[in-house]
Chain A
Amino acid sequence: MMADGTPDLSGVWLGSGSNDADIANPRGLKAGDSVVMLPWAEQLVKTRQSKDDPESNCLPAGIPRGSPYPWRFAQTPGIYFIVYEGNIHSWRQIFMDGRKHPADMIPSWYGHSIGHWEGKTLVVDTVGFNDKFWFDYKGHPHTEQLHTVERYTRTDLGNMTIEVTITDPGAYAKPFTTVGRARIMAGQDLMEYICQEDNFDLGHISGPAKGPGGAQ
């Protein structure tokens, strides 16, 4: 528990709120949910090439796509930060001071996040995204209409559940909710991961966008 009575999410965490190979994988969705793309989005996914994945080009993975690298919550009065080791080495800010989303925003990779507590769950509401990041290795797209609501709940010392409701009428016929979890990496610290320094694989990537193991 933090000094102000809010739950303490501190720790080095590993895990994410969705399936990063394919966000439509039923195992990464709330029971009964499905991902239904609009026709243009379905067509786009079929044509996307692996080398064009922004994540492979050391650009942000956006929300909710995770990575095999840990991250931390830094809870400070009025503002929280999620600090990501990789991929990429970056951070997001979550305004906890009661402000609303601004009316006129330049679209960005991580959007504008405002958060509040519902009991033990941190609820993070984000809009203002650009349309550039991919939801997964498979290449599921989104538009600037994307609105995400993340729910982080620390269920015990070492475990956190993460749910993300995704609403994007520009690309998906209906909202859907992804589910995932994170585990604490006790005794670990974040390390440096500067993706851009030596990204030599880029010159050798070929083929259509698909999941890490090659499964489509």
Chain B
Amino acid sequence: MKESGVMKLILRMAVTAAGLLAALPVFAHHSGAAVFDTTKKLELKGVVTKMEWTNPHAHFYLEVKDADGTVTSWNLELASPSILLRNGWKRDSLKAGDVVTVDGSPAKDNSKFGIAQSIVFADGHKLNFLSAYEDLK
């Protein structure tokens, strides 16, 4: 089936929103509620030590220093690389050395593991679990 250039453009515009919305069932390969306690809030400030672009979930490690100087490394989960990349993330959007504040929810099993719902940088720009587009909730 041949699509004209105009049709392609219209389709692209029309389905960008659909594509983002369709990415919303994010607990793609298991029930998120089976892992995380979404009734609890997590707020962590620290420095990223590693970004893992792996499946099924991209994730990153955040080193957090307590008031008393104790350093803890948290593993924080994101959507899959394919979903992130389709929604504006780039390879270097989040990388070792970035200083960020992460809001999310912790794992039910009390391990240093959580889901990162939003990531805010020192200059105010944001990423979230699904996308790099600030306005997408």
B 81-112 to A, binary, CB cutoff 8 A, 1 in contact else 0: 11101100000000000000000000111010
Are A193 and B31 neighbours in the complex by a CB distance under 8 Å?
no
Q: Report chain A residues within 8 Å CB of B8.
A: 186-187
A173 touches B (CB below 8 Å): no
Cα distance A85–B80 in the bound complex, in angstroms = 11
**Closest residue of chain B to A88, judged by CB?**
B29
Q: Quick one: which of B8, B33, B59, B107 has the most chain A CB within 10 A?
A: B33
Contact A195-B29, Cβ < 8 Å, known A51-B34, A87-B56, A205-B35: yes
Specify which of A69, A183, A191, A201 is in contact with B35 (CB 8 Å cutoff): A201
Q: Report chain A residues within 8 Å CB of B1.
A: 1, 8, 10, 157
**Closest residue of chain A to B39, judged by CB?**
A214
B 28-60 to A, binary, CB cutoff 8 A, 1 in contact else 0: 111111110010000000000000101111010
Specify which of B7, B11, B80, B107 is in contact with A204 (CB 8 Å cutoff): B107
Task: Name the distance in Å between A202's Cβ and chain B's nearest Cβ.
Answer: 8
B12 touches A (CB below 8 Å): yes
Q: Report chain A residues within 8 Å CB of B24.
A: 68
Chain A residues within 8 Å of chain B by Cβ, number: 48
- Counted as pairs of residues, one from A and one from B, with CB atoms less than 8 Å apart, the total is 142
B6 touches A (CB below 8 Å): no
Cα distance A184–B28 in the bound complex, in angstroms = 19
Q: Quick one: which of A69, A198, A212 has the most chain B CB within 10 A?
A: A212
Q: Report chain B residues within 8 Å CB of A195.
A: 29, 55-56
Q: Report chain B residues within 8 Å CB of A192.
A: 55, 82
A14 touches B (CB below 8 Å): yes
Contact A204-B113, Cβ < 8 Å, known A157-B3, A191-B82, A193-B80: yes
Are B15 and A183 neighbours in the complex by a CB distance under 8 Å?
yes
Cα distance A158–B55 in the bound complex, in angstroms = 28
Q: Report chain A residues within 8 Å CB of B22.
A: 14-15, 68, 183, 185
Contact A212-B19, Cβ < 8 Å, known A8-B1, A200-B75: no
Are B81 and A201 neighbours in the complex by a CB distance under 8 Å?
no
**Closest residue of chain B to A198, judged by CB?**
B54
A 157-178 to B, binary, CB cutoff 8 A, 1 in contact else 0: 1100000000000000000000
Are B82 and A86 neighbours in the complex by a CB distance under 8 Å?
yes
Q: Report chain B residues within 8 Å CB of A198.
A: 52, 54-57, 59
Are B77 and A201 neighbours in the complex by a CB distance under 8 Å?
yes
B25 touches A (CB below 8 Å): yes
Per the 8 Å Cβ criterion, residues 1-34 of A in contact with B are: 1, 8, 10, 14-15, 20
B120 touches A (CB below 8 Å): no
B64 touches A (CB below 8 Å): no
Are B33 and A214 neighbours in the complex by a CB distance under 8 Å?
yes
Q: Which B residues are within 8 Å of any A CB, using their own CB?
A: 1, 3, 7-8, 11-12, 14-15, 18-19, 22-35, 38, 52, 54-57, 59, 75, 77, 80-83, 85-86, 107-109, 111, 113
Residue pairs across A and B with Cβ atoms less than 8 A apart, 15 shown, are A1-B1, A68-B28, A68-B83, A185-B18, A186-B12, A187-B12, A191-B81, A191-B82, A191-B86, A193-B80, A197-B54, A201-B57, A201-B77, A202-B30, A212-B32
